[in-house]
Amino acid sequence: MKMIQLAKQLWHKMMIGMAITTLCVMAPFYTSAYTPAFAQSTSETSSEPESTHKDWAAHTHGKGGEKQCFITSTPKQLKGEYDRSNRGPTRIYVTHRNGSRNEISTYAGYRYRDQSEVIFKIDGKTYKLYIDGNYAWAYENDASKMIAAMRRGKNLTVTGISSRGNKTIDIYSLSGFTAAYKAINALCPK
């Protein structure tokens, strides 16, 4: 009887060990395929800026065919009735990588409500983004229009709904956007 109990305990420990090992090995492959590599584990950028342009910073990550160039900014103002301590940092990104250009995304610092949309308002012009967990992404057919509006604009407002039902409004400055955008175009030419 003791041998059976020991065998069951050993089997249980072995299965837990295999599960943990599998999770550790496979977890990187379960991140969104579209999530920037520099932001998969956190909204903080993992590289030093190549250059800073007022409220925007230009970064590179990786080398050769894996090289990514992105610009990022943090909100100047957070609005909404929610507990700030329940929200992580938030950022907006524009990324060039692997032949893909002008990927516009925002990291919310919380999980978006399922089947909701995020609203980008650039000086009064509204665009909708689709959600993927903590990220929202611009639709490909809107990206060039959004970039043009951001280059001309002064402010960007991002409105989203958290999985808890809290409405958040993040206000970004577009000061320096054009210079930072030109910088990543030079760092990652077509």
Domain of 118, CATH number, reads 2.60.40.1880
How many structural domains is the chain composed of? 2
Q: Do residues 56 and 129 share a domain?
A: yes
The distance of Cα 14 from the centroid of its chain, to the nearest Å, equals 36
Q: Do residues 12 and 85 share a domain?
A: no
Q: Do residues 79 and 151 share a domain?
A: yes
Q: Do residues 171 and 117 share a domain?
A: yes
Q: Do residues 164 and 103 share a domain?
A: yes
Whether 37 is covered by a domain: the verdict is no
Range of the structural domain that residue 112 is part of:
46-187
Whether 87 is covered by a domain: the verdict is yes
Q: Give the model confidence (pLDDT) of 7-56 as tens digits.
A: 444 433 443 333 333 333 333 333 334 444 444 334 455 578 999 999 99
Q: Do residues 12 and 77 share a domain?
A: no
Cα 110 to Cα 90: distance, rounded to the nearest angstrom: 9
| Those residues with Cβ within 8 angstroms of residue 46's Cβ, 6 or more apart along the chain or in another chain | 38, 39, 61
Query: Where is pLDDT greater, at 29 or 178?
Result: 178
pLDDT of residue 116: 95
Whether 148 is covered by a domain: the verdict is yes
pLDDT of residue 190: 85
Q: Do residues 93 and 17 share a domain?
A: no
pLDDT band at 98 (very low <50, low <70, confident <90, very high): confident
pLDDT of residue 65: 84
Q: Find out whether 84 and 78 touch, Cβ atoms under 8 Å.
A: yes
Q: What is the mean pLDDT of the chain?
A: 82
pLDDT of residue 44: 55
